[in-house]
Amino acid sequence: MILVTGATGNVGRQVVEQLVDAGEGVRALSRRPEQASWADGVERVAGDLTRPLPAEAFEDVDRLYLFPEPTHAREVVAAATAAGVRHVVVLSSLSVAMDHDNGTMRALQRRHLDVEEAVEASPMTWTHVRPGMFMTNTLGWAEAVRTEGVVREPYPEATAAPIHEADTAAVAVAALLDPERHAGRAYALSGPEALSQRDRVRVLGEVLGREVRFEELSREEARTRMLARPGVPERFVDGLLGMLAASSGVREGVVLPGVQEVLGRPGRTFASWVEDHRADFTPAG
pLDDT of residue 99: 65
| Higher per-residue confidence, 206 vs 72 | 206
Give 25's pLDDT tier (boundaries 50, 70, 90).
Answer: very high
Q: Does the structure show a pLDDT above 80 at 198? A: yes
Angle at 67 between CA 140 and CA 17, to 5 degrees: 80
Mean pLDDT for all residues in the chain: 91
Q: Where are the domains of the chain?
A: 2-134+163-190+253-267
d(CA 258, CA 265): 10
**CATH for the 2-134+163-190+253-267 domain, from 3.40.50.1110, 3.20.20.330, 3.40.50.720, 3.30.450.20:** 3.40.50.720
pLDDT of residue 249: 80
The predicted model gives 170-196 an average pLDDT of: 96
- Cβ contact 50:40 at 8 Å: no
Is the whole-model pTM more than 0.85?
A: yes
Q: Which residues, including other chains, have CB under 8 Å from residue 142's CB and lie 6 or more apart?
A: 280, 281
How does pLDDT run across 118-144, given as a tens digit for each residue?
999 999 999 999 999 999 999 999 999
CA distances, 24 to each of 1, 27, 79, 136, 267 (Å): 7, 10, 22, 26, 24
Q: Does the structure show a pLDDT above 90 at 110? A: no
- Cβ contact 192:267 at 8 Å: yes
Q: Does the structure show a pLDDT above 80 at 101? A: no
d(CA 59, CA 40): 20
